Structure 1
Amino acid sequence: MKPDMKTNLAVLILVCGASAGPTASFAGDAAAGAAAWTKEYPQTDGSPARSCVTCHGRDLTKPGQHAVTNKVIEPLAPSVNPQRLTDQAKVEKWLLRNCRWTLGRECTPVEKADFISYIQTR
């Protein structure tokens, strides 16, 4: 396993609340993460449905753009942006913020693991 993948796995375990003990077995489902990434979530305020693609795009190796502020979002793919998924506090902060904005609620630990697993494959 590459060193950056070890760091990413450690962040995944910490963010998703899994035990980091030697027998811990907690992995997200990248296919489920991909499906959730493109799923459109209806908004209660009448605005258009949102998905992760709305701001981050389908190609995570390319920059995204925030739908409201137009701010550029650096690529999420660790393959082109090695700093992604290496800071537990940042991962937790952005999952909380983005799940609330897109899904209208916090993500479950399983959803978090699935999203992180998907992002790691890019």
Structure 2
Amino acid sequence: MTRSTLILVGALAALASAAVAADRRAIISAYGDPAGFSAARGKAFFEARHTGGKPETPSCTTCHTANPRAEGRTRAGKPIAPMAVSANPERFTDPAKVEKWFRRNCNSVLGRECTAKEKGDVLTYLSSL
């Protein structure tokens, strides 16, 4: 490859990365003022054992592991891509998918839907890794 081709490829990659980050910020903002969200609260929520949901899924880490940079497994043994944005840059870029999985997983773990604050905190945490 020529130097100009490498520069062009690098510039396009940077633009794509910036667009993905903007999508993620928009999704987080949809849950409220991002300044009010806390990565520390998100981490505590993600790692906590909850009651009210299915007994076999008492926490997010049941399937997603305590290390969000690692691949998780469904109860059926299927792989789940890492939750941490640093390990999976495409994570949290599609608002419909984000809502679908929050709805399904929150009901499984909590027995209810997550609040906007819980969603914002968890997304802030996983985006910070």
TM-score under structure 2 length normalisation? 0.78
1:25-40 matches, cutoff 5 A: 25-27=33-35, 28-40=37-49
Q: 1:104 to 1:115 in 2, by over 3 A?
A: same
1:114 aligned to which of 103, 113, 121: 121
1:35-114 matches, cutoff 5 A: 35-43=44-52, 47-48=55-56, 50-66=58-74, 68-114=75-121
- Indicate conservation of the 8 Å contact 1:43/1:49, yes or no: no
Say how many residue pairs are matched. Answer: 111
Gapped regions of structure 1 (runs ≥ 5) = 19-24
State the shift of 1:48 in Å: 4.7
1:13 aligned to which of 23, 29, 42: 29
State the shift of 1:11 in Å: 1.3
Identity of aligned residues (%): 37
Runs of 4+ in 1 over 4 A off after TM superposition: none
- Indicate conservation of the 8 Å contact 1:42/1:49, yes or no: no
Q: Larger radius of gyration, structure 1 or 2?
A: 2
What is the rounded CA distance, in whole Å, between the counterparts of 1:96 and 1:61 in structure 2?
22
